[in-house]
């Protein structure tokens, strides 16, 4: 796979040590969503996969997969949530777009939904749309791809945070693939840190 500059930059501040190639069937994903995906998202899925950043932000799967313990988060549910928020906030009066152009790729622990606005026929030109929960505005557009947005967010480069929470501590950033997180849980360890956790362990679905 061709190296993606934005994902490579992100990896410099957030190592992919606990990431994994998600091995996405991209033709199948394109058929489901009716579109190609941005090259940085494809590269991210190949290097990091789906999972969590510092336990406070999650990157979503484009297609559902069976989990080891629970179903990992995927794009369809959060996309529907984002479109419902758009409608509840006033629809076109709040953000003059076709709701079908809103596709979610991530979430935060503050209930923000990180999306693309997919109007441009070139996926690499899609801006990030933040559907915020406790942000200044319910919708905000940022002229960056997914990986550059995450880099800027995790580097604290925004004057005003585009999301409702702070999930970095000025230096340490950790990404944990969903499969590793669930395996840690099954072993009685904290999914994010790998440390022993008395509250972790097997449970019935």
* From 47-51, 88-92, 110-114, 162-166, the region with the lowest mean pLDDT: 162-166
Ramachandran region of residue 154, left (φ > 0), alpha (ψ -120 to 50) or beta? alpha
- For residue 35, what are its two tokens? 């579109």
Distance CA 133, CA 74 (A): 19
> Which residues, including other chains, have CB under 8 Å from residue 26's CB and lie 6 or more apart?
37, 42
pTM of the predicted protein model: 0.91
Residue 110 pLDDT: 87
Q: Is the pLDDT of residue 204 over 60?
A: no
Q: Is the pLDDT of residue 143 over 90?
A: yes
Distance CA 150, CA 139 (A): 17
Q: Is the pLDDT of residue 201 over 90?
A: no
**Average pLDDT score, the chain:** 90
- For residue 120, what are its two tokens? 């441009």
Query: Could you tell me the sign of the dihedral formed by the alpha carbons of 102, 79, 18, 1, in that order?
Result: negative
Q: In what order do the strands lie in the sheet with 175-177?
A: 139-142, 128-131, 113-117, 102-108, 57-59, 51-53, 175-177
Among residues 126, 106, 4, 115, the alpha carbon closest in space to that of 54 is found at: 106
Domains of the chain: 5-186 (3.40.1580)
Q: What's the rounded mean pLDDT across residues 109-117?
A: 94
Q: Is the pLDDT of residue 106 over 90?
A: yes
């Amino acid at each position: 796979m061709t190296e993606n500059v934005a994902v490579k930059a992100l990896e410099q501040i957030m190592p992919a040590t606990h990431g994994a190639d998600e091995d996405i069937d991209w033709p199948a994903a394109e058929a489901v969503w009716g579109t190609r995906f941005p090259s940085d998202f494809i590269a991210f899925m190949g290097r990091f996969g789906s999972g969590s950043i510092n336990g406070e932000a999650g990157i979503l799967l484009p297609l559902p997969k069976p989990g080891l313990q629970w179903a990992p988060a995927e794009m369809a549910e959060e996309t529907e949530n984002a479109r419902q928020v758009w409608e509840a906030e006033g629809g076109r009066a709040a953000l003059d777009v076709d709701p079908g152009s809103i596709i979610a790729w991530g979430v935060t622990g503050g209930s923000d939904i990180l999306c693309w606005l997919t109007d441009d026929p070139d996926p690499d030109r899609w801006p990030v749309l933040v559907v915020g929960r406790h942000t200044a505005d319910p919708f905000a557009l940022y002229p960056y791809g997914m990986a550059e947005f995450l880099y800027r967010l995790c580097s604290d480069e925004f004057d005003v945070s585009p999301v409702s929470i702070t999930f970095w501590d000025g230096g340490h950033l950790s990404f944990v693939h969903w499969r590793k997180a669930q395996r840690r849980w099954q072993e009685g360890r904290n999914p994010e840190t790998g440390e022993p956790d008395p509250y972790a362990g097997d449970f019935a679905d």
